[in-house]
Amino acid sequence: MSSTKAAKGRDAKTPAEHVPHPLLPFLQSQSQNTLTRLYQRPSACLSIFRLLGPLERQLVMNLLWLESAIPSLTMAAWVTPEGKILYDSSLLVLSRLHIVTNLLNPATKQSPKLNLNTTFKTSFRQAITGGGTSGSFGVPAAKDDKHPSSGVEALDAFAVERWETILHYMVSSGTGQVLAKPSAGVLYLLQRSRLMATSHGSALQITSAGFQFLLHSPHDQLWQLLLQYLHMAEERQMDLVEVLSFLFMLSTMDLGRVRNCNVEYSAESLSDTQKAMLEDLRDYGLIWQRKASSRRFSPTRLSTTLTSSLPPLPTSASTGTGTQDQGFIVLETNYRLYAYTDNPLQTAVLNLFAALKYRFQNLVVGAVTRDSVRKALANGITADQIISYLAAHAHPQMRKNNPLIPVTVQDQIRLWELERNRLKSEEGYLYTAFASQADYEYVLNYAKQLGVVVWESPAKRCFFGSLEGHANIRGFIERRTGGGGGG
Amino acid sequence: MKAIKGILLTCDSAVKQILLTMNEKESFIIEDLDDFHLVIKADEEYRVRRELETELEKNTYSLEG
Amino acid sequence: MDTASHLSVILDLSPTQWHLSSLPSNTHPLSVASFLSQLLAFLNSHVAIKHENSLAVFGALPGKSVMLYASTETGSESTELADSNTYLPFKLVDATVVERIMDELDALGDPEEEEPIALVGALTKSLCYINRVMSPSTSSAPGGGTSEDQTTLTDPRILILSVSPDLSTSYIPIMNSIFSAQKLKVTIDVCKVYGEDTVFLQQAAHLTGGSYIYLERRDALLQYLIMSNLPPPPLRLLLSVPTQDKIDFRAACFCHKNIIDVGFVCSVCLSIFCQPIPVCSTCRTKFPMKTLRRLNEAMPPGARNPAGTPSRATPAPTASGRGTPAPGGPGRGAPVPSGSGRGTPTPGGPGRGGSNGSSRPPGGSSITAGLANNLR
């Protein structure tokens, strides 16, 4: 079963499991000029460094303090045979990000030399050793005695409230409930990322991508939205470097490390673009400001965990016991599901794929049924997403089980998914009644070259071609019959 | 040689038998190709799928039902 | 693979050794100040690797050991530390470590005779610390595995930066620490910054699967540390780190705490002695007089010493070969790896007897004779 395979993989800790961070492809698509400007900021270097894979990070570290380029053969000699593939792909990622320069000198025919991008090297060294005048880690605001800064709990509560408003709005958009609406900026973002859509001017409705989104981890959700934000920033003529470096600055800021009260940062030193971002990020719950015009801001846990794998929303405000990071779902082999939560959002998400029966103060009881799963599948959620959501939020008590999710339930959910796909359809044309076998093969070969043959039967001397190939095939036959006079 | 516009359905043989039975009531099959493939009229797909769904639902049993 | 890792660094802060190390007569003099600046860059690198990485720093001082820094215990008054040019966690580490080291060194005063370095104390403290920070996730929640213990503290490591020579009296406690480390699945890395190879720390690195490097180019300390001690254990499967080709497996005798080439092992409790004795001092087992006499005669001539203090073991002729690739210094910039980075350690050497058949680590290969089979 796939679950045992996954468990084995975890034990072996095969590095191939590392999934590249969603931001990296976006960065790779940027021009070298943009990246070099970004690398001028130590905080950006540190954050990007943290988004890299483990081997990539080590390679950067190995190169960081070297003054001159080293032959890549020398570096490769450190790699074990098992690590070769990963090493090569790591170097590729680094050179695509323009972090490592792979100096190939065809004239001298020497082996290529590895070096860090000079800008990156300078800034990252500065990040490690401190100092400099870049101010890229955020300028702390002077103590404000009139308004003592709010505690970490208040910030967490704010972030959770903002974030859950967004998710709750999405999940309940189909049910007709009237809920607190997120701001227009957020709604636009949701629409642009195709998580929600309007049909014929009606109210926003959640899309199948949106349903899938709801089952992701908060960290993935956050980055998915931020990536969309970055794409939009390009259209809005915002300077991408400013936008990115502000996000990275936030991710290196401090939350509650000092005496459990947050440091407030001054907005004065921000660029105009970044000041404009304050409002957007406030709507997403990434930063907190006393009031919109305030000249200081505090990052919330959502932003300070951007480059880590810590849960961005450690404790939900409404679940006092912090069940969110603990996991709250117990699923039995008889398909019964017990969810220890009083969080309406979690209940609503469960309702996407489970039939809920009873609700108590801190407990929701339901069952995974054929109908409930089919409803979820119809919404575009896949069986794997349901299973991985259940696994990610499993109650500690359930984690004793191996495999985590009862095999019966897992298999059944997958079977229900397969059941929906008993009938596959493809529109096109059936070509039949060929005069001769040679004719048939001649046309069939042409269609195969086009790659449009869906089904063929030499015995019946007919084949089925997809719709898009029809014009070409008809033209082909007409040319032939016109020219050769046969058929 | 001729070309017929239609929709190619790929299914398992059980579903195909149900489709053949449905075809007896109201004809929609253009060509019965083999055990797993049928060509049907292009504008009938939605109706066929819906009817097949109801037919298959009859064969599933739930605790509540 | 991409999980947070814990690193405990143990600093050997012997004033005498550091003074010797900084003398210009060395090929590459290294003073405490430049050592610290390279160390701090290394500590910051560990913190930089991952947001969740945790770090603890212990100091081994003459006669006492202290915890200098622990990332789980936040500093006291540090609001003033906030600085727009430095990542706050880095600043916290650096400021705390430097300040505490200065305090401790000042507090040492000027004793006439320096007490031995409390390396064992620091090692034990760091093991206790690792045990403490690892256990909450396993003991508190009845369910055991919460999402928390997947993100916190896997692959704990200890890095010992040693400048002092072996202290043969601490053989038994060091071995016991090694066993605890094995049990806790802690990897012990050793970097010998100054002085001769240490036998015990070589064994510590070998037995816990860590890397032992003898710093040949001391101006390149940071590069050495980054290349061989920064990668967490899972990564070391892909990027080799230097290990030893040959390890000095010699043990210290229980009676005089001398490092010995040939020893006598009690057949009951496996205690090691430098000469045949009638009664085992550990388990009180009595050995027959006859075998005692026979063993005395069998002793190598140099080692026979009726006064009870056998001649100090000669430096092992075959042991302590190093398989360390030499990472290039920042100045030169050319790491020179060697294939021997993965060399399998060969126990003992020719003429020192093969394995003594005991799987108990104190009975290293060097102990040839035994009191075994002498009991009736």
Residues A286-338: tens digit of each pLDDT: 888 887 777 888 888 888 888 877 666 654 433 333 434 568 899 999 999 99
Q: Do B4 and A422 touch (CB under 8 A)?
A: no
Residue A164 shares a structural domain with residue A115: no
Contact C98/A at CB under 8 A: no
Q: Which of residues 213-242 of C touch A (CB under 8 A)?
A: 222-223, 226-227, 230-232, 234-235, 237-240
Contact B30/A at CB under 8 A: yes
Residue A49 shares a structural domain with residue A173: no
Q: A135 in a domain, yes or no?
A: no
Q: Are strands A329-331 and A336-339 parallel, antiparallel or unpaired?
A: antiparallel
The mean pLDDT value for A30-42 works out to 90
Torsion-angle region of residue A360: left (phi > 0), alpha (psi -120 to 50) or beta?
beta
Structure tokens at A79: 């790699």
* Confidence category of residue A366, pLDDT binned at 50, 70, 90: very high
Q: Which of residues 6-25 of B touch A (CB under 8 A)?
A: 6-12, 15
Residue A284 shares a structural domain with residue A188: yes
**What residues in A contact B60, CB-CB < 8 Å?**
370
User: Is it the case that residue C1 has pLDDT exceeding 60?
Assistant: no
Highest average pLDDT, of A351-360, C88-97, C248-257, comes from A351-360
Q: Residue C260: is it exposed, middle or buried by C-beta count within 10 angstroms (0-12/13-18/19+)?
A: buried
Q: Do B4 and A426 touch (CB under 8 A)?
A: no
CA A442 distance to own-chain centroid:
48
CATH classification at residue A47: 1.10.10
Q: Which of residues 38-77 of A touch C (CB under 8 A)?
A: 42-43, 46, 49-50, 53-55, 57-58, 61-62, 64-70, 74-75, 77
**Domains by residue range for chain B, with CATH:** 6-58 (3.30.70.1220)
Out of 3.40.50.300, 3.30.565.10, 3.40.50.410, 3.40.50.2300, select the CATH number for domain C5-136+153-236: 3.40.50.410
Residue A352 shares a structural domain with residue A264: no
Residue A297 shares a structural domain with residue A378: no
The region of weakest confidence among A310-314, B3-7, C121-125, C234-238 is A310-314
Kindly list the domain boundaries of chain C, sorted by start residue: 5-136+153-236, 249-340
Of A79, A135, A395, the CB nearest to C238: A79
Examine the fold and report which residue of A129, A162, A187 is the final residue of a domain before the chain moves on.
A129
Q: Please report the pLDDT score of residue C301 as a whole number.
A: 64
Q: A293 in a domain, yes or no?
A: yes
**What residues in A contact C143, CB-CB < 8 Å?**
395-400
Chains that touch B (3 or more CB pairs under 8 A): A
How far, in Å, CA of A92 to CA of A213, rounded?
A: 30
Structure tokens at C321: 């070969």
Contact A299/C at CB under 8 A: no
Residue A177 shares a structural domain with residue A282: yes
Give, in order, the Cα–Cα distances in Å from A99 to each of A39, A56, C333: 9, 10, 18
Domain count, chain A: 4
What ipTM was estimated for this complex? 0.84
Q: A138 in a domain, yes or no?
A: no
The mean pLDDT value for A250-254 works out to 83
Q: A311 in a domain, yes or no?
A: no
Residue A187 shares a structural domain with residue A300: yes
Highest average pLDDT, of A99-113, C226-240, C330-344, comes from C226-240
Of B1, B3, B8, the CB nearest to A425: B8
CATH classification at residue A435: 3.30.70.2610
Residue A346 shares a structural domain with residue A407: yes
Residue A291 shares a structural domain with residue A178: yes
Q: A137 in a domain, yes or no?
A: no
Give the residue numbers spanning the domain of A399. 324-420
Q: Do A54 and C144 touch (CB under 8 A)?
A: no
Give the distance from residue A98's alpha carbon to the nearest chain C alpha carbon, in angstroms. 19
Give the distance from residue C323's alpha carbon to the nearest chain A alpha carbon, in angstroms. 13
Q: Please report the pLDDT score of residue A270 as a whole number.
A: 82
Token pair 């117990």 is found at: A330
Residue A55 shares a structural domain with residue A91: yes
Residue A259 shares a structural domain with residue A357: no
3 state SS of A297: strand
How far, in Å, CA of C217 to CA of C197, rounded?
A: 15
Q: A386 in a domain, yes or no?
A: yes
Residue A269 shares a structural domain with residue A206: yes
